[in-house]
Amino acid sequence: MCTITVDVDERTLRGVNPNLSDMAAIRNWAQKLIDCRIQEMLEEDNETMDIEEARAIVIDTIKREYAKP
């Protein structure tokens, strides 16, 4: 784990979401945003495939599409 410092315009943030009324609420909100983004990044990474896997899929598709009847 690491600790970071983020500057937040509290007045603007509270204007957008009045529930963010104190530092604890803002801290929890920011943590949830970061956790969510990390999860998205992990899922994006799982959606990629290496070049050999992609090549095998392409070769398989070509064989099926151009197979003699």
Structural domains of the chain, count: 1
Flag whether the pTM goes above 0.85.
Answer: no
42-62 pLDDT per residue, tens: 887 666 778 898 889 998 888
- Whose CA is closest to 26, among 39, 13, 12? 13
d(CA 8, CA 32): 15
Is residue 26 a part of any domain in this protein? yes
Is residue 59 a part of any domain in this protein? yes
Domain carrying residue 20? 10-65
Q: What percent of the chain has pLDDT over 70?
A: 93
24-36 pLDDT per residue, tens: 999 999 999 999 9
Is residue 2 a part of any domain in this protein? no
Is residue 40 a part of any domain in this protein? yes
